[in-house]
Amino acid sequence: MSPVELRALIESDAEALALARSGAADLCAVRCMAIAPKVVQEKRLGDINIVQLYADPAVGETVCQTIEAVAQSNPAIKRAWRWAEPGKPGLDVGDLRVRAMLTLPVEQGGVGLTQQQAAPILASAEVSPVITGAEVSTAYPFPPQD
């Protein structure tokens, strides 16, 4: 996150802004990590890992079976799903193409999962950004230098 983006984030939240204005850069950084948009990172999952993401394993199994069924008639999905097979490196659910494929309708070449069905898979590759007090001090100097 650039200093300009971080400053905009700080100014968008009353608590973060109060902390920055008081010079509590480290506490402001903690608050900013909590409110900042998640960052997508590489996350490789096998089929069993996907099932385990769901509170109800039957739902996870249904999601995997849905992907497998679509893969039977879609070569691109079939190739991607092979990465989730046991002994393979895992399907990278942080890859933007894979993420889009999960919720894209079948008629448009995707798997066709609902947002609710795909949410645990997508969330597994999302993390809070790391923001330091030093970055806050750069983005929002104390005392303010406006």
Residue (of 9, 16, 12) closest to 129 by Cα position: 9
**Residue-level pLDDT at 145:** 63
State which amino acid sits at residue 144.
P
Pairwise CA distance, residues 84 & 68, whole Å = 11
Mean pLDDT split into 10-residue runs, the chain, 146 residues: 96 97 97 97 95 96 96 95 94 96 94 95 96 96 71
**Residue-level pLDDT at 22:** 95
Residue (of 12, 127, 37) closest to 20 by Cα position: 12
Pairwise CA distance, residues 41 & 44, whole Å = 10
